[in-house]
Structure formats: C-alpha cells, structure tokens
Amino acid sequence: MWAWLSFENATASRSRFLTVHLALETLLIIVGFQLYSIIADHAPRHAQQALGRTDRVLRAERAVHLSPELWVNTWWARSHLREAVGNYYYDGPHFIVTALVLTLLLVLRPNQYRLYRDILFVASLLALVVFWLCPVGPPRLLPSAEFVDTVARVRTFGAGGQHGITSAENPFAAMPSLHVGWALWVAMASRALTDNRWLRALAWCYPALTTFVVMATGNHLLADAAAAAILLPLSSALVRVALGARETTFREPARREVASE
C-alpha cells in the first residue's frame, strides 16, 4: 500500500511539473509571437534598406567566391515538384521538429530541459533584436530578379499577397536565419537525448539539409546560415554563464552558513 501511495505521489508530482512547464512554454511562445508580430509590422517600412543590405552581403560573398545560392536556387526551381517540396519543408519542420524536441527534453531529460530551452529562447530573442535593428531581406525579393521567387510561384500553406507573403510573415528577417538556427539547436539537443553516435550524426544532417533548402527556395543566403552558426554557440555560452552565476549566487550563502556553524 505504501508503495502504491508513493507511486501515486510521484505520478502527481511529475504531472504538476509537466503542467507548470507547459504553461511556461505557452507563455514564452505567446510573448515571442507578439514580439515577432510587432517587428513584422515594422519591417515593411524599411524594405528598401533591408534589400540593400541583402545586395551588399551577396556582393561580399561573391568577392570571396562563397556564393552558391543562385546556382542552387535556379537549379531547384527547374522542377515544380522540387519547389513545392522545398516550400513545405521550409514552412513545416521548422516549428514541428523544434516543438517535438522540446517536448522530448521535457519528458525524457527534465534535468537538461531548462538549459536547452533557455538556449533556444536567448537565440531567438537575439535574432529578433537583429531583425528590429538591422533587417535584411531574402534574395528572392531582390529587384535584380536573378533569383527565382519560389514562394510566389508555389504558394504553400495558403501564402498569398505580393511575393507570396502572408500578413503574419516578416520577409525582412533573413539574417540570421532562424530556420538554420533552430535546426542547429535540434542537433545540439540531440546530445542530451541520446548517446548513440549514429543518431547524433543523423541529427546534424538536419541543419545541413535545412541550410540547403533555405538557399534553394531563395529565402536565405549562405551568410544568413553562417550568422545562425555564430548565434547558437554565443547563446549557449551566455546561458551557461548565466546559469553558472546563478548557481554560485545560491551556493555562497549556504557555504557561509556551514562555515558559521
């Protein structure tokens, strides 16, 4: 009987833990979406400057011979099927896979969950700051018309309006690429979810594929993906330093109490 009561108490405690954390995640998602919406409403006012920055970044890439985007984009757009697959990949897994990994961390690795949740939140927040202060557009919207606008040609998930842009979308949030950033986060989080080296290696194929797709669809330059590759380690370092400082803050009073005894 005592074993059954202990089991019930443990189950109830875990249920409360999951409920509280799911409520917190919902709140963070709402806050993040509201911030993104505010920036999306603000972005069109700076469309010309944003596309000017895109052109300068592309010129810089070409100057150092690191600009595969145009070739990838034009080859990809030769097939209507590829265009559709790329657009659905761009719009779908970005949210679904990230939410799934967050849920798996919460359920299977609750001791690691907060660390990775905070890394994702800080990376997204830093990206939003960049989108607000220095918006950069996607190459598909460049006036030179070199790139194929796959979003306008294959309108996925009800995309409409000029260039296939929905009212909730901010097209001038290309650098850093959050699609690549979140995919890199998924690969990072795989270290906490499995010890299998093959599964970890497979997880790193996800950001590689995402980088290819964001260029193929004309939504990002290679530099946008590189910026995301810098953003994630930076966010991880900031979070780890903050958590370390917090643990030190809580340990010091305990040490003083023990010393006084």
3-state SS, one letter per residue, for 218-239: CCCCHHHHHHHHHHHHHHHHHH
Domain that holds residue 255: 2-260
Query: In the prediction, which pLDDT does 163 show?
Result: 47
Residue 2 pLDDT > 70:
no
> Which range, 97-101, 165-169, 170-174, 256-260, has the best average confidence (pLDDT)?
97-101
Report how far Cα 54 is from the mean position of its chain's Cα atoms.
Answer: 20
Q: What is the pTM of this model?
A: 0.80
Would you say residue 68 has pLDDT above 80? Answer: yes
Task: Please compute the mean of the pLDDT values over residues 59-64 and round it to a whole number.
Answer: 95
Give percent above pLDDT 90 in the chain. Answer: 49
Q: How many structural domains comprise the chain?
A: 1
CA angle 171, 175, 178 (to 5 degrees): 80
Tokens encoding 116: 């990775």
pLDDT of residue 208: 96
In terms of pLDDT, which residue wins out, 143 or 255? 143
Give per-residue pLDDT as tens, 156-171. 654 544 444 544 567 8
